Structure 1
């Protein structure tokens, strides 16, 4: 157990040095795959309006089976992400909980699954999903270790998402400010009018404001009408 705790601590230290949500997720899935003896791993993320998406898959089969779960609205990834804490199946082909999905997972060579919810700031952000080719592959998994790993992973992913969002917002504000400056200089208008011009072009063309601003900065002129 002490050895496993040290592995989790090492993963947390590595995650703290990674910048960006995508590489952080990839580190989580690969570390979980090795730590818990899975053949493959992935993360289900809850996006706006409750949409579930797959992130950091270690193999194409993860993406395929996750997408099928999302389509059918059934499976361990869906259950762990939305309503349960830990979901385990030792024989997917015979598991009655997912009659449409389980046999298809079995047909793709996946016979065991273990999924744990990911939570940050008191809300669910998704699930960590482990895939095994053997029946009973996760029977001896240490549940306390899984809970600990998932908690650390949740915190790391939430922090990476926050940093990425703030960086993106700052970059957007910077490029919009640059575009405003170009319009102000070229047309002799103030900052409020320059922003209104950008916003009007964005609305009329149904294009994101940032994209309009980037075009102005790149070409130093307003887009063609």
Structure 2
């Protein structure tokens, strides 16, 4: 157990920090790396997620040498949302298949704690050690604290992903509005339309050509830049006699 609580607090800050290039995998990778370094006697760590599609391990600190999804404490913890602790695989025979793989990989004990996650998914953080009886009450308390912060990391990663998606959508919307506005202006100048008339022309041309309004507008703007605007209008069936009285 670290003597200085400030060192633990520092680890928590680092665990839950997201930077511009972070994604879920990067967040969890950083969390596991720091966790192994922080918890005394911890040789490896695993994060396991259970969703509608099944149970999967999303990160481990290295190649473990055993299958964490063999029926055992990890699968039970993630299925029932309850902690599981294996103090000594040589003594505890509750999960024989898991225990055989576990001990053959060189491990003796593990601690599995549920992690708070957004949505319907459930997750478990598992610490494993090559020594027996490594995760007693004091270690349990520290790991529980870190596990709560793992839940924050999950939520932050999900929030960051959602925010990035929203920013992307907003940028697309703004770009669309700009392109459509430019295309409207070109039609207004070319045919002396007013703004609403030009927009109706664009909408009808979009439907007739089976193109998204944004793509049609981009095509017209590029044609203007390439000095092929009238050719583009003709190719799209947007000659003046066809569009001076668009239907409403």
Do structure 1's residue 116 and structure 2's residue 113 form an aligned pair? yes
Q: Which residue in 1 is equivalent to 2:54?
A: 51
Q: How does 1:74-223 map to 2 (within 5 A)?
A: 74-120=71-117, 125-139=122-136, 141-168=138-165, 171=168, 188-190=205-207, 193-194=210-211
- Number of residue pairs the alignment of both structures matches: 187
Contact 1:29-1:128 at 8 Å conserved across structures: no
Among candidates 34, 38, 51, match of residue 35 of structure 1: 38
SS of corresponding position for 1:142: helix
TM-score normalised over the length of structure 1: 0.67
* CA–CA separation in structure 1 for the residues paired with 2:94 and 2:208: 59
Q: Is the 8 A contact 1:87 1:116 kept in 2?
A: yes
With over 3 angstroms needed to count, the CA separation of the structure-2 counterparts of 1:52 and 1:193, relative to structure 1, is same
The answer (yes or no) to whether the contact 2:109–2:131 under 8 Å persists in 1 is: yes
Unmatched tracts of structure 2, length 5 or more: 184-201, 213-248
Distance 1:188 1:53 in 2: 49
Q: In structure 2, what is the equivalent of residue 11 of structure 1?
A: 11
Q: Deviations over 1:130-176 (max 9, x none)?
A: 11112222236432222111111111222112212442465478679
Task: Please give the alpha-carbon distance, in whole angstroms, between the structure 1 residues aligned to 2:210 and 2:171.
Answer: 17
Structure 2 length as normaliser, TM-score? 0.61
Tell me if structure 1 keeps the 8 A contact 2:36–2:44: yes
Larger Rg: 2
Relative to its length, the structure with more helix (as a share) is: 1
- Cα deviation, 1:38-97, whole Å, max 9, x if unaligned, reads 1111211223x1522212311111xx53xx342x3x222212222243221122244222
Output the CA distance in 1 between the equivalents of 2:111 and 2:163.
33
Contact 2:47 2:123 in 1 (8 A): yes
Q: Residues 34 and 4 of structure 1: is their aligned pair in 2 closer, same or farther, counting only changes over 3 Å?
A: farther
